[in-house]
Structure 1
Amino acid sequence: MDNLFSTGLVNVTLDKEGNAFYEIVAPAAWDYIEADDQLMKTAEKADIIVFGSLAQRNKKTRETIQKILDLNKINIFDVNLRPPYDNHDVISDTLYKTKICKLNDLEILKLAEWYGFESDLHEAAIGIREKFGCEIVCVTRGSHGASLLRNNEWVEDPGFKVVVKDTVGAGDSFLAALIKGFLEDKPNDELLEDANLLGAYVVTKDGPTPMLNFDRIEKIRKERKEKK
């Protein structure tokens, strides 16, 4: 409990296509996370650390996250380059400690510009892997699906055509399915398809964490197969 700062608040506005625009209120309690003994002991027990760049906008939480990353767990970085919280040095320092990097097509082009990589998504992903040593680089492409670089294999999935109601939570659900597939050691194409599938299902619902209807999820998968 933080007695000085309020719980994090994000004001979300949806356009007529259901795309979300965010106002991330600052300061918030999560800007001041201390690396106390309890937190570090909990982190030491973890197999996977999932974190973002936005949470590192404040020095205090940034130092805490970097300390946790130094434990060398399976560090999974959800890149979020929302100005003014798109600090070049913070992104660089973090990528060097990252095993799995997930970012969107605009963000990877921004990194390509920063580091002098080719602007082609595949070549930019290779650039990230070679410069920072990331094992997996995953690029989301909105309604056009996603791409994945792993073990020198570049795979693409076109995504699923659905009626969009609310895009909030799509990226997080995509990443959750990606992590699940990684832990189950699924082939790259299956891993990427499942991640796209869950993200597609979530955008058909209101809110970022809808109840999962697995029959409906598999129906979305089946509908795409039937259209091929």
Structure 2
Amino acid sequence: MGESNRIFCFGEVLWDEVEGADFPGGAPLNVAYHMAKDDRFDVHMISSVGSDAAGKRMLSLIDDWSINARFIQSNDEYPTGRVIANVSDKANVSYDILRPVAWDYIRVDGKLRAYIPENGCLIFGSLACRNSVSRQTLFNLLSQTCVRVFDINLRGNYYAKETLSTLLSHTDLLKINEEELAEVTRIFQPTSARAPEQVQLRALMGRFGIKETIVTRGADGASYYTFDERVDVAGISVPVSDTIGCGDAFLAAFLRHRLGGATVEVALTHAVLTGAFIAEQPGGCPAYKLADLDAFMKSKLG
């Protein structure tokens, strides 16, 4: 993965309602939030919000976070996204993702394609493809020459084999957890369901031409794969507030370090520790400074 400083996060921007309180969220926005903490990166959000009070409040926050909002559209017909999060099981949060909302209708912007450089990084997931409008906009962007990072992020029944096939076929780096790997294996190569993880992954990577994959395991760490390499990093246990956005913080940390030239092992270690740091705090975008994260890491690494 080469060096890049222009980051584009495509997809859902929404409010997570957690026990009556609102937190800004959506996996792509969470990634953008954490990436923008590092002033080496020029971070852009590609999405849509309603022209309502919730959308205005969201745009104000995004501006405060130094995320470029020039590619966030305003929609007069549909409200700003909202998700009802159930945190009764803090380690396994469930979500009621309301629809239809503004981010279901992200429309093609002719200026955007010209603005993404070859060494730019486009980060996307599967949830934003639940509606044909946003799906076709993303498909249009995926033909762009850049580093394409797919955080598969399967939610409910908001995915289909054909859509996943297109997304995987345009992926350079895939992030997937163990449960998602089992589901993708069931869909595309069911005869491999009992095979070791490494066999399942390399079959998947070979089928779709994926160069790099990260398998996340929550508190048990993560593994990085290419066809010729495997790197494992152990996890750590922390007191959990909730797990909202932990995987997004993990991905942002990995990309921050990897795109900045760090080794895979260093990037993966920072990613695991960043996910743990966020797990200790409520919501996917808790207030913190990189100095706070660095202090946490030093306390864990010794």
TM-score by structure 2 length?
Answer: 0.69
1:32 to 83, 92, 105: 105
CA distance in 2, matches of 1:36, 1:114: 33
**Conserved in 2, the CA contact under 8 Å of 1:72 and 1:97?**
no
Q: In 2, are the aligned partners of 1:102 and 1:138 still within 8 Å (CA)? A: yes
Q: Which residue is equivalent to 1:68? A: 141
Change beyond 3 A, Cα 1:133–1:185: farther
- The one-letter code matched in structure 1 to 2:124 is F
Q: Which amino acid aligns with 1:183?
A: L
Structure 1 partner of 2:196: 120
Shift of 1:215: 5.2
Tell me which of 149, 155, 159 is aligned to 1:86. 159
SS of residue paired to 1:209: coil
Counterpart of 1:23 in 2: which secondary structure? strand
State whether residues 202 and 227 of structure 2, in contact with CA within 8 Å, keep that contact through their aligned partners in structure 1.
Answer: no
1:222: how far off? 4.2
Letter in 2 for 1:81: L
Structure 1 unaligned residues grouped into runs of 5+: none
Amino acid of the residue matched to residue 180 of structure 1? R
- Match runs of 1:125-144 below 5 Å: 125-144=201-220
Q: Is 1:55 paired with 2:128?
A: yes
Runs of 5+ unmatched residues, structure 2: 1-73
Partner of residue 188 from structure 1, selected from 260, 264, 269:
264
1:105-153 deviation digits (Å, cap 9, x = unpaired): 1001111222224542222221222111111101111111111113621
Matches within 5 A, 1:73-222: 73-116=146-189, 117=192, 119-150=195-226, 152-214=228-290, 216-222=292-298
* Rounded Cα–Cα distance in structure 1 between residues aligned with 2:148 and 2:298: 33
Structure number with higher relative contact order (C-alpha < 8 Å, ≥ 6 residues apart)? 2
- Cα distance in 1, alignment partners of residues 120 and 293 from structure 2: 28
Q: CA RMSD in A?
A: 2.0
**Conservation of the 8 A alpha-carbon contact between 2:87 and 2:94:** yes
Q: Aligned residues: percent identity?
A: 30
Contact 1:182 1:191 in 2 (8 A): yes
Deviation at 1:49, TM superposition (A): 0.7
Q: Deviations over 1:38-69 (max 9, x none)?
A: 34344468711111100001111111101000
Q: Distance in 1 between matches of 2:272 and 2:183?
A: 23
Within 5 A, what are the aligned runs for 1:3-42? 3-42=76-115
> Residue 211 of structure 2 contacts residue 226 of structure 2 at CA under 8 Å; is this kept in 1?
yes
Amino acid at match of 2:175: K
Question: Are the aligned partners of 2:106 and 2:133 in contact in 1 as well (CA < 8 Å)?
Answer: yes
TM-score by length of 1: 0.90
Change (3 A) 1:80 1:45: same
2:118–2:147: 8 Å Cα contact kept in structure 1? no
Name the residue aligned to 2:59: none
Poorly superposed stretches of 4+, deviation over 6 Å: none
* 1:149 and 1:155 in contact (8 A); partners too: yes
Letter in 1 for 2:96: E
In structure 2, C-alpha distance between the alignment counterparts of 1:9 and 1:86, rounded to whole Å: 19
Cα-to-partner distance string for 1:22-47 (whole Å, 9 max, x where unaligned): 11111111111111323434446871
Q: Cα 1:83–1:17, aligned 2, differ >3 Å: closer, same or farther?
A: closer
CA contact (8 A) 1:202 1:208 kept: yes
